[in-house]
Structure 1
Amino acid sequence: MRRHRMTRKRLLAALAATVSAAALSGAVVTAEAAAPSLSATFAQGSVWDSGYGGKYTLTNSGDATSTQWTVEFDLPAGTVVSSSWSSVLTRSGQHYKVTNAGFNATIKPGGTANFGFNTSGLGLPTGCTVNGVPCGGGVPTSTPGTTTTTSEPPVTTTSVPPGDVVDVGTAAELQAALAAASPGRTIRLAAGTYRGSFVATKPGTAAAPITVTGPATAVLINDGPSGEAPSCPAPTAGWDPGYGFWLYGAPYWQLKGFTVQEAKKGIVVDNSHHTVIDGVRVHRIDEEAVHFRRSSADSVIRDSTISHTGLVQAGYGEGVYLGSANSNWGCHGNSGGVDRSDRVQVLDNHIGPYVAAEGIDVKEGTADGVIRGNTFDGQGVSGQNSADSWVDVKGIGYVIEGNTGSFASPGTFANGYETHNPDTSPSFPNGCGNVWRDNKSDLGGVGQYAIKITSTSKCSERPNVVYASNTVSRAVNGLTNIPVTP
């Protein structure tokens, strides 16, 4: 009996020890799990004949906040990074080391951060690591700058919506397809250069929009202008305005994937509501890149890349231009004398560098648009014609949220976001009733305020609101010149 009791006692002690060890082991596992775990994914955006735009998105799948990150990768011979943003980049031969900027160092569990770059050359990154670990996950590499796995980033492709498809491969074929466009039709561009004047005047419908789609290597160029211009811009025989792509009286069009460059103006949308511009590249433009005017309301530009504008007229080199100045309403105002390009959404675009005027210019008389998720690179802003900010808001009721802006020389930079109040009529309290939230601003030690509100007295009935969720770094004066709303 005693022997039996001793056996049970020993068994119970062993069991207790096992339970205690398991509990201790569980505690250790929990402690080890409370750590950040970063991965990085590459995506290629716009592609042109001599380079492309690339973006890395870092994701924290761990249980603790990451407070810094370093991404390293290699580019093949013949390809170099020509510009970068939202990061600090150094190069040793073909090896690149990228560390976080001040504003995107912290990544909470489940959160993301990103940075981007443009290249000269078409080679794609390989050997990616984040904090010494392969970007897709794994164990740290033994030699800095090398990994045991290779990143093969996907190339962005353009999907073709269902419906009647017309394939084109020359400028003449594209012009003919535009002239014959009908609701539901898709015009599909082959890779190559299309040189000429491209004007669309046939309307689509809500149920059957008209689509022009192609890869980023399908490049539209207009060597105009030429001929005698009418008093107000309108398609006219014998006149080429020099626009890269022109929608005129053509609602419900979708422009996807292709590139517009080397034109007087990039994409002009006149009296063409419900236009969607998706994933396009617009660069090397004499004046503005994309212009919604003549009440082209309820339109969207998203996931697009704009740079190098204002090459001939810097003060008119806006990235995205919403509406028209009141001095031009005589031509472009077709709703009560006002250009009501209302409710336009500007979403998730990369605007800059070397956009010579504002990244987005919101004109008086427009209302209720959304500017969300964009990245502004202010390098190269000219300061001409009062162009000294990422966004100038003269419209009413805009929501400006979740954007990231930075500035680095050269350039003339006053504030990140500005409002102005052109006096046109009592019906339009211009520059009022706008809201800023969750925007991150790096003013480069040059800009005065992230958000500069020009007047509070003119907006007493519809005040502008700046929420405390906005953040700023390297500002001369601070976040804003008005009281912050919690």
Structure 2
Amino acid sequence: MPVKTSHRWLAAGAAGLAAALAVSVAPFAWAAGGLTASLVKTSTWPGGYGADYVLTNGGATAVTTWTVEFDLPTGTSVSNSWSSVRTQDGQHYRFTNVGYNGTIAPGGSESFGFNVSGAGNPTNCTVNGDPCAGGGPAPTTTAAPTTPAPTTPPPTTPPPTTAPPGTTVNVSTAAQLQAALAAAAPGQTIQLAAGTYRGPFVTTRAGTAASRITLTGPRGAVLVNDGPTGTGPGCPAPTAGWDSGYGLWLFDAPHWNLTGFTVAESKKGIVLDNSHHVTIDGVYVHHTEDEAVHFRRSSADGIIRNSVITDTGLAQPGYGEGVYLGSAQSNFGCHGNSGGMDRSDRVQVLNNRIGPRVTAEHVDIKEGTEGGVIRGNTFDGQGISGTNSGDSWIDAKGNGYLVEGNTGTFRAPGTFANGYETHNLLTGYGCGNVWRGNTSDLGGVGRYAVYVSSTSKCPANPNVVHASNTVTNAVGGLTNIAVTP
């Protein structure tokens, strides 16, 4: 395997990203005891919206568990949720923390999110049983006396060699990060300090549904892999003496949270292999030789949201996808671990900014995958190469994807055919996908906002393009098939 040429792009493109990641905060904030619950609407689309609740502890003691309850009006419902355990009784919803986000230190915050079908907002909110809109215990008019700090600080317990589950592991060097990834346990948080981390970063440690593992850090914590080096196995797997060149690699490592940090100057950015239920939130991936983020080898039920991807395909433009879901049929021999196929199903791509200079598809949906959601993203097609058929924002070769509320643009330079395309590379796939409420500007170059390559191959499960989609500057128009109201 050839050795990758090292790059130095970290100084470019790091500024100005805060605005790209900003979300609109809906005017709902309620207090209950020491907690504040703020509803943050992350995206809206015709017929629904996505939102997070941000819980902030304004009290003097840690909160170790939380429950948020609210009602939705008739005709409005929660369609899915994450980072919480959801139960429902009619129109009443109850969300409790999962293992990794139950404890909130004084001044700290945690969050969970959900998507809503319908336009109604939550009402009758409570946090830990207290009325969210007031009516809980009234605050005292006299502040409690402050306990003076002890003259001598309490002794500090030396950190154990291996951190126990539920602890925070602080790292500031590449060696510390590699050790933390190798020893990660359910419930742990690995906290990155700002700085550049160079080397291969891989984990094979699994979290659980109740106790996820979190890797988190600020935007200035940058993971760089100058590999690949050595000789790898026939199919990619962590192997002694071989560096894959991936910026961050999760292999057989489900139930992780990856939040906030940057991956750059690597062969591939973030690669998930057989790592289901992974949430990627607020990361920045840029200057990769191939794709930026890959859900591979049946890494199902994942989420990538609120993230930024630019400058991919620096060595192989045709393989510079922004988000890659599944594997091509030709790679099922390596990655087809679910009935001979790569079933990286039900992945949600939400509220990301992808492009410019993403040289292949911004989201490449591979044959054999099903049931994902692509919502609320901004696609900037400037710099798309057209190489290896990478000439659209999304190429849907899987089944049953909902593509809605996205905004796509194209401006030169680049090679651009259509905004969204479907293809039928595997019998029975490339069908049943739905486009709704998307806004497309094809720059006077693209033919159709949505181009369906075949209707005869999906007779019982057709692709659907709704009239709520809009297009400007198109050579052909909205779509090449009949529009559904």
Moved more, 161-170 or 227-236: 161-170
- The correspondence of residues 464-479 of structure 1 with structure 2, limited to 5 A, is 464-479=463-478
Aligned residues: 345
- Name the counterpart of 1:55: 19
Pick one of 321, 346, 352 that aligns with 2:324: 321
Match of 1:295 among 272, 294, 298: 298
2:451 corresponding residue in structure 1: 452
1:229 aligned residue (204, 227, 232): 232
| Alpha carbons 2:191, 2:217 under 8 Å: kept | yes
Q: Distance in 1 between matches of 2:175 and 2:397?
A: 40
TM superposition shift of 1:313? 0.3
How far is 1:50 from its partner? 4.8
Cα-to-partner distance string for 1:343-367 (whole Å, 9 max, x where unaligned): 0000000000000000000000000
Residue 155 (structure 2) aligns with:
none
Q: 1:433 to 1:158 in 2, by over 3 A?
A: farther
SS at match of 2:453: coil
Deviation at 1:430, TM superposition (A): 1.0
3-state secondary structure, aligned to 1:461: coil
Describe the shift of the 1:47–1:269 C-alpha distance in structure 2 as closer, same or farther (beyond 3 A): farther
SS across alignment from 2:312 = coil
1:48 deviates by: 7.5
Which of 178, 187, 194 aligns to 2:190? It is 187
Which residue of structure 2 aligns with residue 462 of structure 1? 461
Residue 403 (structure 2) aligned to one of 400, 403, 422: 400
Q: Choose the corresponding residue for 2:181, options 178, 183, 190.
A: 178
1:254 partner letter: N
Give 1:85-234 correspondences, 5 Å limit: 163-234=166-237
Correspondence for 2:433: 434
Q: Give how far 1:55 is off.
A: 2.7
Residues 260 and 358 of structure 1: is their aligned pair in 2 closer, same or farther, counting only changes over 3 Å? same
Distance 1:49 1:377 in 2: 15
CA contact (8 A) 2:327 2:367 kept: yes
Amino acid at match of 2:200: S
Matching residue's letter, 2:351: D
8 Å CA contact 2:192, 2:215 repeated in 1: yes
Q: Among residues 332, 342, 346, which one is paired with 2:345 in the alignment?
A: 342
- Aligned-pair CA distance for 1:163: 3.5
Q: 8 Å contact 2:166–2:186 — kept in the other structure?
A: no
- Deviation sequence 1:205-240 (CA, Å, 0-9, x none): 000000000000000000000000100000000000
Instruction: Give the 3 Å change call, closer, same or farther, for CA 167–48 of structure 1 in structure 2.
Output: farther
Whichever residue aligns with residue 471 of structure 1, its letter is T
Identity of aligned residues (%): 68
Q: Label 1:227 to 1:158 Cα distance change in 2 as closer, same or farther (>3 A).
A: farther
Name the CA distance, whole Å, in 2 between partners of 1:158 and 1:449: 47
Query: Which residue identity is paired with 2:436?
Result: R
Could you list the per-position Cα deviations for residues 211-270 of structure 1 after superposition, in whole angstroms to 9, with x for gaps in the alignment? Answer: 000000000000000000100000000000100000000000110000000000000000
CA contact (8 A) 1:437 1:470 kept: yes
Report the CA distance between 1:315 and its aligned residue: 0.3
Alpha-carbon distance change, 177 to 304 in structure 1, aligned in 2, over 3 angstroms: same
1: CA distance, partners of 2:442 / 2:449: 7
Separation (CA, whole Å) in 1 of partners of 2:467 and 2:395: 20
Q: Does structure 2 conserve the Cα–Cα contact (< 8 Å) formed by 1:378 and 1:406?
A: yes
1:181/1:210 contact within 8 Å kept: yes
Contact 1:158–1:214 (8 Å) recurs in 2: no
Question: Structure 1 CA distance, aligned partners of 2:379 and 2:187?
Answer: 34
TM-score w.r.t. length of structure 2: 0.68
**Unaligned stretches of 5+ in structure 2?**
1-9, 27-45, 50-106, 112-164
Alpha carbons 1:381, 1:387 under 8 Å: kept: yes
Which of 341, 344, 360 matches 1:357?
Answer: 360
Corresponding residue of 2:267: 264
Cα 1:186–1:160 change in 2 (3 A) is farther
Please state how far the C-alpha of 1:51 moved relative to its aligned partner: 1.9
User: SS of the counterpart of 1:457?
Assistant: coil
> 1:53 Cα deviation (Å)?
1.5
**Residue identity opposite 1:432 in structure 2:** C
Give the conservation status (yes or no) of the 8 Å contact 1:47–1:53: no
Max Rg structure = 1
2:310 equivalent to 1:307: yes
Match for 2:243 among 219, 240, 246? 240
Look up the SS of the partner of 1:179 in the other structure: helix
CA distance in 2, matches of 1:315, 1:477: 25
Q: Aligned partners of 2:289, 2:390: CA distance in 1, in Å? A: 16
Indicate the SS of the match to 1:167.
strand
Is residue 372–residue 402 contact of structure 2 (8 Å, CA) maintained in 1? yes
Q: TM-score, normalization: structure 1?
A: 0.68
Q: Which has the higher helix share?
A: 1
